[in-house]
């Protein structure tokens, strides 16, 4: 093999490796984006559940009878649902 052929072979190997690394990088970028979206969904769920928990805790502490507790839960759930819808609209 001549020096030129060796250089050409090395360059082709390098270009092939570069292409492979670009594909790997793209796949990692896509996975990273999926993970970020999953984290955002999980965080949103956590915030919602925390708000619902706090609402139920407040409803229970404000109410004396089970009927009053249930009515307070419904009112607070409606408020939370309205806030969630408003947040979704703002995200768009």
Number of domains in the chain: 1
pTM beyond 0.85: the answer is: no
Whether residue 77 contacts residue 52, with contact meaning beta carbons closer than 8 Å, is answered with: yes
**pLDDT tens, residue by residue, 9-58:** 999 999 999 999 999 999 999 999 999 999 998 988 898 888 888 888 87
CB atoms within 10 A of CB 32: 10
Residue-wise pLDDT for 72-91, tens only, equals 788 888 888 888 888 888 77
Domain containing residue 84: 3-91
DSSP conformational letter for 1:
-
């Amino acid at each position: 093999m001549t020096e030129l052929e060796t250089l050409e072979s090395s360059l082709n190997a390098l270009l092939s490796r570069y292409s492979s690394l670009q594909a790997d990088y793209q796949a990692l970028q896509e996975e990273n984006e999926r993970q970020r979206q999953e984290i955002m969904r999980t965080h949103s769920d956590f915030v919602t559940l925390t708000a619902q928990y706090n609402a139920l805790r407040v409803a229970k502490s404000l109410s004396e009878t089970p009927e009053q507790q249930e009515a307070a839960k419904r009112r607070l759930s409606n408020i939370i649902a309205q806030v969630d819808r408003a947040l979704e609209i703002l995200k768009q």
